[in-house]
Amino acid sequence: MVEYRYTDLDDVFHALADPTRRAMIAGLSKSELTVSQLAAPFAITLAAASKHIKVLEHAGLVVRTIEGRTHTCRLDAGPIHAGMEWMRHYEKFWNERLDILEGLLLAEDTKRSRTKKKGKRK
Amino acid sequence: MVEYRYTDLDDVFHALADPTRRAMIAGLSKSELTVSQLAAPFAITLAAASKHIKVLEHAGLVVRTIEGRTHTCRLDAGPIHAGMEWMRHYEKFWNERLDILEGLLLAEDTKRSRTKKKGKRK
DNA sequence: TCTATATTCAACCATATGGTTGAATATATC
DNA sequence: GATATATTCAACCATATGGTTGAATATAGA
């Protein structure tokens, strides 16, 4: 009854840290997809997509069903929920932050404190 | 209403994917801490801790205040909230996984209490 | 001024990551 | 059986990551 599937926040957050994998998850949230279908939207090889899917599988986010030569993937949001649970502890700091922000707005000192440049390779 | 600061999910999830950094966040959720204080619980050098803190800063999760020679860090949960917002979309795919969640959070506590080495590959 | 403290920087190292290509495996289909 | 399709595997490559050490920078205190 207690199916223990090994899940680890390291693996979950790492899996979610890649835009390609997040996009794959988005796709899987609409329907089950084969490996080829998952790979199709991206300018990467099937082998690369296969690796991404393995990362998602390893994090427990994706479950694979093999029928003949096609591998069908479906989303398992359990680990996502676990990640949310971890984050929820810090939600109160979001509210505090809003209070601070409000104060800053009043003081009219709301300049963008971080100016990031996006140079990620993909 | 609330203007979101530019947040990059790649950076946020990547920052959260490391147990040392998650532990640092946990520490900062209790009080502001200096770099030395943040480094203290871990068996790593100050230089390594400094790098971790930079990763957290780059993700917007930590804000640093320099007073004299001491750098004080405080948590900014805004990006965490952004991560949760992304995840919330997939909450509906979460079906009956409380058991996994429980094990996960327990494992997380265990991991944090020992002086861990990142060797948890099953 | 001399020294101790707080932190970063630079160089280096081993391993991980995301990507490629080309061959291999397995299964449909003709 | 021959061939096309779906996917993985193995080897390789460039860059990123997390760690180290030792020197540098800056400030606090005697």
pLDDT single digits (tens) A12-39: 999 999 999 999 999 999 999 999 999 9
Q: Which residue type sits at B75?
A: L
Residue B43 in domain = yes
Give B97's contacts in chain A (Cβ within 8 Å).
76, 78, 81-82
Closest listed residue to residue B86, CA positions, set B5, B12, B25, B2: B12
- Number of domains present in the structure of chain A: 1
Closest listed residue to residue B20, CA positions, set B105, B90, B115: B115
Note down the domain range covering A50: 1-108
Pick from A103-107, B5-9, B68-72 the range whose average pLDDT is largest. B68-72
Q: Which nucleotide is nearest to B70 (CA to C1')?
A: C6
Least confident of A96-110, B17-31, B72-86: A96-110
Residue B42 in domain = yes
Q: How far apart are CA A75 and CA A64, in angstroms?
A: 9
Instruction: Check whether B69 has a pLDDT greater than 90.
Output: yes
User: Three-state SS for A30?
Assistant: coil
Closest listed residue to residue A37, CA positions, set A22, A24, A26, A48: A24
Give A2's contacts in chain B (Cβ within 8 Å).
99
What pLDDT is stored for residue A77 in this prediction? Answer: 87
Residue A116 in domain = no
> In CATH, what number is assigned to the domain containing residue B106?
1.10.10.10
- Looking at per-residue confidence, does B107 or B19 come out higher? B19
* DSSP-derived secondary structure letter, A4: -
Residue A113 in domain = no
Instruction: Check whether B90 has a pLDDT greater than 90.
Output: no
Average pLDDT score over residue span B111-115: 49
Closest listed residue to residue A119, CA positions, set B11, B20, B77, B99: B11
Give B94's contacts in chain A (Cβ within 8 Å).
77-78, 80-81
Q: How far apart are CA B59 and CA B48, in angstroms?
A: 17
The number of helix segments (H) and strand segments (E) in chain B equals 6, 3
Average pLDDT score over residue span B50-70: 96
Question: A78 and B88 in contact by Cβ < 8 A?
Answer: no
Percent of chain A residues past pLDDT 70, beyond the cut: 70
Determine the protein residue whose CA lies at the shortest distance from the C1' of D5: A69
Question: B77 and A84 in contact by Cβ < 8 A?
Answer: no
Pairing relation of β-strands A70-75 and B70-75? unpaired
Instruction: Check whether A82 has a pLDDT greater than 70.
Output: yes
Question: A85 and B97 in contact by Cβ < 8 A?
Answer: no
